[in-house]
Each structure stands twice: as structure tokens, then as C-alpha cells.
Amino acid sequence: MAEPHRLRLTRLDRVTSTQDEARILARSGSPGGTVVLAEEQTMGRGREGRAWVSPAGVGLWFTLVHRSGRPLGEWPAVTLAAALGLCRALEEDGLDPRVRWPNDVLLLDRKVAGILADTEGTAVLLGMGINVLQEEGDFPPELASRATSVAIACARGGLRPPDREVFLARVLDSLDATLGIFEREGTPALLGPVWERSALRSRRIALRLPSGEIVQGIAEGLGAVGQLLLRTAGGPRTIVSGTKTDVLPEIDKEGP
């Protein structure tokens, strides 16, 4: 029988953001493995200050306080551990998820989950928003063409939609396992499994850097601490942090 996970779950009804709640807990010394889950977030946050739509009853909105023993330079790979954990949980449901570097998980080319990693002292606040039970038409118009849910992907694949509680337990077990791998073995142990599931693998992409620069090239792999390795017209680039990542049409397979 699988070992029960070491994560401790606190359930809240309605919060601004589970990142705020987790930050308070982390500041007051809550141990690693503390998970704050809210039924609804009134001010759910995505990356770069974007809003994360978090209505009641349909998703899993939670933040895990992770206290890492790895060197600080490896902490960005906590996001990869989380993405891999979620992918493995989705695969147990018969789905075929992809990781869109750095922080999205996709089903059928649409975003099913986003990951937001903040830090608070010695803790990583690993926020995950997973669309689970939304139906077509439930997403606001601006997200409708880009977002999906586990239930929608299951319906497309002729699979039964998951029970949200069963799925939550599976996700937490899986996260516990992949964060454990990261802590014991370090980032290299994650790179192969994440790249195998990458939506960008060998694809021509355009990526916006935090500086605003747009970089185009072919995604060739992941660097030692999870950076994206790009082949661009100007030579190889190692991308540490990207924001909006688009896969471009395959106009030319040969050069960047």
C-alpha cells in the first residue's frame, strides 16, 4: 500500500488568495508540507499580477508551504516538480498532459492548471490552480479559447470525470512524491520526465522575457536548474524566466 502523504491540509471556505493565507502560516513557522486549500478565492492571483478566476465548487485552489533543503539556485525547479506531480496525477486518470514551461499544465493544448511560486523567508509558497469540473461555457469569454478543465478533457476522451476529492488526494500524493524526488535527488532527476511531457519540445516558440524582450527560437531542452534552452537565429540562449510562451506555426523545420 502507498505511504500516506506527509502533507497536512487546512481547508478554508472563502479567502482572498491562498498565497496570502500560506504566507501568514509560513511566517508564523508552519512546517513544510502545510497545504491551504480554499473552496473559493475572491482575489486569486496568477503570475505577473494577473487575476486567477477561482469560483467555488469547480476547481482546486491551494498553496503548499515547501521548505527546501536544496540550494537557493535550484528553487525555481520546485515549479517543475509541481508540474510533474500534477501530470502524473492526470495520467492516472488516463489523460495526456503537457507542461508548458515554465508554469502551465495543458490538456489538449489548453491550460488546465497554473503554478505560482512565491517565497517567504526559507519557504516556497507553491500555489496551484487546477480547473477540475468546469464545463464548456463556464469560463469567462477572455479565457474560453485558452482554458480547459479535467472534466472537459475526460469527456473528450470518453473518460469518466474525476471525483474532486479523490483527485485532490491523488494530486497531493503525487506532489509529495515529486517534491520528495527534488529534495533527495535534486533538479537533474526532474529534467527528463518534465521534458518528455513538454508542450514545447523541439517546437518553434516565441517567449516574452520579464524585460519585455520577445525571443524566438526552437526549444531544445532544459538546463541544469530547469532553464529553457533555446536555439535562436543569434545562437543558443538559456532562458531563466519567461512569461507568455506561444508555440509558432511550423514554417521552417531547419533553422530558428
- Binding range to ligand BTN, per CB under 6 A, among 75-83, 122-130, 131-139, 198-206: 122-130
Least distance from C-beta 115 to ligand BTN, angstroms?
Answer: 6
Rounded Cα gap, residues 217 and 256, in angstroms: 5
With CB atoms as reference, the residue minimizing the distance to ligand BTN is 114
Residues 6 or more apart whose CB falls under 8 angstroms from that of 150 comprise 90, 93, 95, 107, 112, 130, 131, 132, 133, 161, 162, 167
Q: Which of 129, 162, 217, 242 binds ligand BTN (CB under 6 A)?
A: 129
Select from 116, 147, 172, 239 the one that contacts ligand BTN (CB under 6 A). Answer: 116
**Minimum CB–partner distance for residue 52 and ligand BTN (Å):** 4
Stretch 35-54 residues interacting with ligand BTN (CB under 6 A): 41, 44-47, 50, 52, 54
Instruction: Tell me the one-letter amino acid at 224.
Output: A
128 binds ligand BTN (CB under 6 A): yes
How is residue 124 written as a grid cell? 516556497
Stretches 124-132, 142-150, 208-216, 226-234: which one binds ligand BTN (CB under 6 A)?
124-132
Distance (Å, whole) CA 21 – CA 16: 8
Q: How far is the CB of 100 from ligand BTN (least distance, A)?
A: 10
Q: In degrees rounded to 5, what are phi and psi of residue 168? A: -60, -45
Nearer to ligand BTN, 105 or 218 (CB): 105
Burial profile 141-154: b = 16 or more Cβ within 10 angstroms, e = fewer: eeeeeebbbbbbbb
* Closest C-alpha among 195, 233, 201, 238 to residue 216: 233
Query: What is the binding site for ligand BTN (CB under 6 A)?
Result: 17-19, 41, 44-47, 50, 52, 54, 61-63, 103-104, 114-116, 127-129
